[in-house]
Structure 1
Amino acid sequence: MELNVVIQSIVIISLMIMIGAILSRTYHFNEDTRSVFISIIVNVAMPCIILSSIFHVEMNENTFKMIVFVFCLSILINAAGIGLGWLLSAVFYRHSTNNRELALLSGLGNTGFIGIPLCAVLFGPEGALYAAIFDAGVDFTIWTLGALMLQRNKLFDFRTVKSMINMPIIAIIGGLVIAYFHIKPPFLIINLVDQLAALAAPLAMFYIGMLVMTLKGTKVKECGSKVWLPLTTKLFILPALVALLMIFLKPEQTIAQTILVQSMMPTLTLASILFAKYSADEDIGAITTVLSTLFALLTIPIMIYLVNIYVL
């Protein structure tokens, strides 16, 4: 991986986050504006970046095999991260009421908001496609293992299955069906999808910048004694383990690079929303999301530099 390209991408992401933080000072960032941002990103921008990747990658039998491979590997990596977070939280915070949250924050990354746009810049349409498939594995893990851990009755019911059906998942399935039957959309549609896909990175970074400005110092201090665990696990330990896994499996270079970058992503942006849905501690989710995103601006180039030296 070209470290210069990575650093330039991180600098651009940082500037976008700063713009978002400045924008939050011009109007009140409340639940309504938060919902609008999330809705546009999740239901419009993310599906379009997925479809754009599929439209610009030549699909064949080997590509479909690699897609299944990346999806299964994503679930394995996410589950391993959650398991590692659970183990460490049980060791360091045996009697804590936040063990479930700490475990999920340790394993589930922001592979959609940041990961897909970053991989699109670094590795082109093919990288963006595999990044989208990896993100689909994250979504699958969130609404299966994650939902099962957070809900009180511990049942995997129809509502859990229904919550797994979202626009990015529909875009992946629909796009792959179109690609499988070699259906070529009109140029007008492709051009529209490409332009809407360009919204993903700026809107996601603006959202994170606004989220940064909503943090209260008292809440940060209150949760600060625990968030080191998911930060360390998600930003350092899990990427190191994934790098060792890539050495062992030796997949194609683009796949290996994409999976490595996705494993380095900070905690998922929707953590606080997920926790609120299941009456868990949404404050620790929001604080970990913001802090991990800020720290990731430094750790991603460092981890990629180390991977370039010792792995790739």
Structure 2
Amino acid sequence: MTMGLVFHSIGVITLMIGIGVILSRTFNFNEDTRNAFISLITNVGMPCIILSSIFQVDIGGDLFGQIIFVFLVSIAINLAGIGLGYLFAVLFHKKVNRAKELAILSGLGNTGFIGIPLCAVLLGPEGALYAAMFDAGVDFTIWTVGALLLQQKKQVGLGMLRTMLNVPILSIVIGLTLAFFNLRPPYLLTDLFDRLAAIAAPLAMFYIGIMIMSLLRQPSAAGRLAGTRNTLWLPVTVKLVLLPVLAVLVGIGLSVDRLMLQILLIQAAMPTLTLSSILFAKYSADEEMGAFVTICSTAAALLTIPGMIYLMNLWVAGG
């Protein structure tokens, strides 16, 4: 992976977020517009990236094994990030009653909104497919371990299973099932998937830019940001620095190929998941802290992702 392509992709992402910042001045960002963006990204753009990637790659038995491997490694890396975040919160912020929230912000990244489109651009259809499976592992972790951590009364049941059955997950299952039986949709549909896949990255970046400005414009934004300043470094450091390094060590230890190693690094280096504030609101946790950590980690990731990829390239080349 050339650093020129990495910086180009991050530069494009930055400009898209900037366009979102400008767009935020042209309309009111309320619950309806927010839901419209999320619906288009998660129910149209991301599933089409996944299906487009599946039908562009020749999936055999070996690739199926690799896909399951990525899913399981993703869960392991996510749990390690949650564990590191919780440990650091207990050690360094004993007076802050937010260890569970900090743990989730440290371990779960924006592997869907940013990770899948970025891997598609940098690593092609096969990279996008692996990235989608890593994101499936994140979704699984969110609605199992994440939900259990935040629940006041621990409950495991069909409700948790229903929340995991979202459109991107279903598109993975349907796409892989068709590919396993060597079934391919007609060209009309594959062409549609290819075209709609292109909207995911721009919409996701526009949404992030709009969300950033809508939060910063709120009258109490400065006070809330100051209130989270003492804890902000913890999830940002764990998520953007320690977890990517751990992912590379795991990949090298398991002797994965270079493409797989790049996927593990990029997805582990993603900023805190955009849906953290939604998850926290659902379980009466600190929604505002989730939103501000998302903003700060997204801004920082524009610098740390190229840095981590550069260091990995030096490491692998030196090894």
Q: TM-score category by the smaller chain?
A: over 0.9
Q: Hey, what does 1:17 align to over in structure 2?
A: 17
Q: Hey, what does 1:143 align to over in structure 2?
A: 143
Letter of the structure 2 residue corresponding to residue 285 of structure 1? G
In the alignment, structure 1 residue 54 sits paired with structure 2 residue 54: yes
- Deviations 1:27-48 (CA, angstroms, capped at 9, x unpaired): 1111111111011111111111
Q: Hey, what does 1:294 align to over in structure 2?
A: 299
Q: Hey, what does 1:110 align to over in structure 2?
A: 110
Letter of the structure 2 residue corresponding to residue 308 of structure 1? N
In the alignment, structure 1 residue 269 sits paired with structure 2 residue 281: no
In the alignment, structure 1 residue 255 sits paired with structure 2 residue 257: no
Q: Give the 5 Å matches for 1:109-258.
A: 109-214=109-214, 215=216, 216-258=221-263
Runs of 4+ in 1 over 4 A off after TM superposition: none
Q: Distance in 1 between matches of 2:251 and 2:65?
A: 17
Of 245-254 and 145-154, deviating more is: 245-254
Q: Distance in 2 between matches of 1:56 and 1:244?
A: 30
- Give the secondary structure class of the aligned counterpart of 2:80: helix
1:250 shift after superposition: 1.3
Q: Give the 5 Å matches for 1:86-97.
A: 86-97=86-97
1:311 shift after superposition: 2.8
**Structure 1 runs not aligned, ≥5 long:** none
1:156 shift after superposition: 1.3
Q: Hey, what does 1:280 align to over in structure 2?
A: 285
In the alignment, structure 1 residue 305 sits paired with structure 2 residue 310: yes
**Structure 2 runs not aligned, ≥5 long:** none
Q: How many residues align?
A: 312
Letter of the structure 2 residue corresponding to residue 259 of structure 1? L
Of 56-65 and 247-256, deviating more is: 247-256
- Deviations 1:185-238 (CA, angstroms, capped at 9, x unpaired): 100000101111111000000000001102222211111111110000000011
Letter of the structure 1 residue corresponding to residue 181 of structure 2? F
Percent identity of paired positions between Structure 1 and Structure 2: 58
Contact 1:7 1:301 in 2 (8 A): yes
Letter of the structure 2 residue corresponding to residue 115 of structure 1? G
Q: Distance in 2 between matches of 1:125 and 1:259?
A: 16
Task: State the TM-score, normalizing by the size of structure 1.
Answer: 0.98
Task: State the TM-score, normalizing by the size of structure 2.
Answer: 0.96
